[in-house]
Amino acid sequence: MNLNSPSLRRKVAREAANLLYSGVEKEYKQAKVKAAKTFGTHFLPTNLEVAMELDKIAEENEGSARQERLIQMRKEALKLMKVLEAYKPLLIGSVWRGAIHYDSDIDITVYHDEPEEILKILEKNNLKTMQTEAVTITKKGKRKDSFHVYAELPGKEKMEVKIVQASEASEKEKCEIYGDKITGLSIYELEKILKENPTQRFLPS
């Protein structure tokens, strides 16, 4: 078999997606490397190819319940975003994309220079904080700091709030999985979608 044939590409991507879906691997890179070894090839599929297979696996396993849960998660996200309205909250991640699976959480980015202030607001609103961490990355020589709060909503859904410096509110990062810009959804946009098309997807065409 041609080691770069379309059928092999798909098999490696599918295997990597299975590793992610089952929780055997948490990161795309490790899942792709392990999947390639399984098929005896050095070829690694793109993150987008793996994400598309992951989406198919979730649909096959979760069916209509997946769409119902997506709507519920978007409603939960909207409630939280309204609490954080002063900090320009954006819904990102799989709940924004519309490509959730059983282990997905709600990802929200807010813009503020005092993480402790956000943390207090979350705690006042009955969010059970599980973990917090400060993260520093360097991209193209530029240092970026963020503070992450991992919590559980009253309805038991997991969520992550990423607190980014206020000066970065106008910046849009490139998505490492789908390759497009992470535009996310504002409160107004999410309200509109929940009224008009609550399961709308935001995936590159």
Q: What is the pLDDT of residues 99-130, one digit of tens each?
A: 999 999 999 999 999 999 999 999 888 888 99
pTM of the predicted protein model: 0.90
Tokens at 148, concatenated: 């992450």
- pLDDT tens digit sequence for 18-66: 999 999 999 999 999 999 999 999 889 999 999 999 999 999 999 999 9
- pLDDT tens digit sequence for 147-170: 999 999 888 889 999 999 988 888
> Which domains are assigned to the chain?
6-45 (no CATH), 65-196 (3.30.460)
Q: Where are the beta strands (DSSP E) in the chain?
A: 90-92, 106-111, 128-139, 142-152, 158-164
Distance CA 100, CA 200 (A): 12
Question: Which residue, 112, 50, 122, is CA-closest to 80?
Answer: 122
More confident residue, 205 or 28: 28
Contact indicator for 80, 153 with CB cutoff of 8 Å:
yes
